[in-house]
C-alpha cells in the first residue's frame, strides 16, 4: 500500500516479532465500543478468521478489510495475529505502521518503520514510510533524508519524488520542490489526478501554505504546457487567498497568462467566493473572522 504525502505517500507492499513488542494491545475505548455497535461491524465480525487456526494470509486479508472499513484498532490486532502466525514480517510491520499513522500514533508508527529498515536497509517502502512519519511530525529535514534514501533504492517511484518535493516545499526550498514534482509527473503524468490536492498535505499545510503549494503546482503545469491543469491549480491557489496575478509576473512562462481572460475570470470569481465566505463568517461571529487552523506540531 502506498500513502501519498501530498500528493504524499506511505508504501505498504528475521526472527518472529510479536505485535506486543512494538505496540500496546488495542484496548477497547468508547469510540471503538461505539464502532462495534455499527451495522458494518455486525456484518464483518462473524466472518473474521480464527487467529489460532487461520493462515497468515487470511489473517492479513482480514486486517486489510478491517482497516478499509474503518476499524483500525481491530486491524492492528489481526496484523499482529498474522505476524505471530509467521506472516511476512516487513510487509506486516509496514501495514501496522501505516495503520498507526491513521490513528495519529506517530511515535509508534516510526518504531515500526525503523524496524523495517533495520531488518532490510534496502527496503525503499520502509524508508519512504519512515519519511512520511517524520514529515507528519514536522521533522522535514529528516523526512528529506529518508525520502532521498527511498529514491536511491527506487528512482522510478513517482510517489517518492512527490513526497520529497513536499518536504522541500515545507523547508521553503521551492526550486528543489518543483524539480521533484516535475520528476514525479514525468514518471506518472496522471499522478495529480489520482491524488489531487486532498492528501495529507491538506491536513498538514496551513491554508496560506496550501494555496502557495497549489500555485507552485500550477507553475509546474504551465512549464509543461498543460493549460487545463494550470488553470485548475491557479483557481485553487486564488481561492486560498494567494496573490496569483502578482506572483505570475515573476515567472517567464506564467507571465504571458496574466491578461488571459480565463485567469482574470478565475481570480475575480475566487475573490467573490472569499468575500462571500468572509461575510458569512462575520455574520456568525459578530464581526470577528474565525482563526485559521494551525499547522500541527
**What secondary structure, in 3-state letters, does 216-279 show?**
HHHHHHHHCCCHHHHHHHHHHHHHCCCCHHHHHCCCCCHHHHCCCHHHHHHHHHHHHHHHHHHH
Average pLDDT along the chain: 83
Instruction: Please tell me whether residue 11 adopts helix, strand or coil conformation.
Output: strand
Quick one: cell of 259? 491578461
pTM attached to this predicted model: 0.77
Task: Give the tens place of pLDDT for each residue, 26-80.
Answer: 455 778 888 898 898 999 999 999 999 999 999 999 999 999 999 999 999 999 9
Q: How many CB atoms lie within 10 A of CB 242?
A: 24
The radius of gyration computed from the CA coordinates of the chain, to the nearest angstrom, equals 22
**Cα dihedral 176/178/182/185 (nearest 10):** 120
Select from 230, 270, 228, 274 the least CA-distant residue to 251: 230
Give the span between the Cα atoms of 297 and 212, in whole angstroms: 20
Domain boundaries, the chain: 205-297
Task: Give tens-digit pLDDT for 157-166.
Answer: 999 999 999 9
Amino acid at each position: 500500500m502506498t500513502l501519498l504525502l501530498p500528493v504524499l505517500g506511505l508504501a505498504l507492499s528475521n526472527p518472529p516479532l510479536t505485535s506486543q513488542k512494538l505496540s500496546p494491545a488495542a484496548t477497547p475505548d468508547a469510540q471503538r465500543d461505539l464502532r462495534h455497535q455499527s451495522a458494518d461491524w455486525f456484518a464483518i465480525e462473524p466472518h473474521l478468521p480464527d487467529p489460532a487456526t487461520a493462515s497468515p494470509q487470511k489473517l492479513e486479508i482480514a486486517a486489510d478489510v478491517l482497516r478499509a472499513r474503518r476499524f483500525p484498532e481491530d486491524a492492528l490486532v489481526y496484523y499482529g495475529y498474522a505476524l505471530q502466525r509467521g506472516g511476512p514480517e516487513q510487509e506486516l510491520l509496514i501495514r501496522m505502521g501505516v495503520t498507526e499513522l491513521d490513528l495519529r500514533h506517530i511515535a509508534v508508527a516510526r518504531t515500526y518503520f525503523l524496524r523495517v529498515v533495520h531488518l532490510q536497509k534496502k527496503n525503499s517502502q520502509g524508508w519512504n514510510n519512515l519519511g512520511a512519519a517524520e514529515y507528519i511530525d514536522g521533522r522535514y529535514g529528516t523526512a528529506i533524508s529518508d525520502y532521498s534514501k527511498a529514491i536511491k533504492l527506487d528512482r522510478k517511484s513517482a510517489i517518492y519524488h512527490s513526497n520529497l518535493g513536499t518536504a522541500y516545499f515545507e523547508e521553503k526550498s521551492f526550486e528543489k520542490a518543483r524539480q521533484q514534482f516535475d520528476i514525479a509527473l514525468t514518471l506518472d503524468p496522471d499522478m495529480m489526478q489520482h491524488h489531487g490536492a486532498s492528501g495529507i498535505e491538506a491536513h498538514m499545510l496551513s491554508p496560506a501554505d496550501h494555496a502557495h503549494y497549489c500555485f507552485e503546482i500550477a507553475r509546474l503545469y504551465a512549464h509543461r504546457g498543460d493549460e487545463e491543469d494550470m488553470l485548475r491549480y491557479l483557481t485553487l491557489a486564488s481561492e486560498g487567498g494567494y496573490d496569483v496575478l502578482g506572483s505570475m509576473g515573476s515567472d517567464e512562462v506564467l507571465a504571458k497568462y496574466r491578461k488571459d481572460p480565463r485567469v482574470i475570470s478565475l481570480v475575480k470569481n475566487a475573490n467573490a467566493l472569499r468575500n462571500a465566505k468572509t461575510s458569512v463568517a462575520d455574520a456568525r461571529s459578530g464581526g470577528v473572522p474565525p482563526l485559521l487552523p494551525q499547522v500541527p506540531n
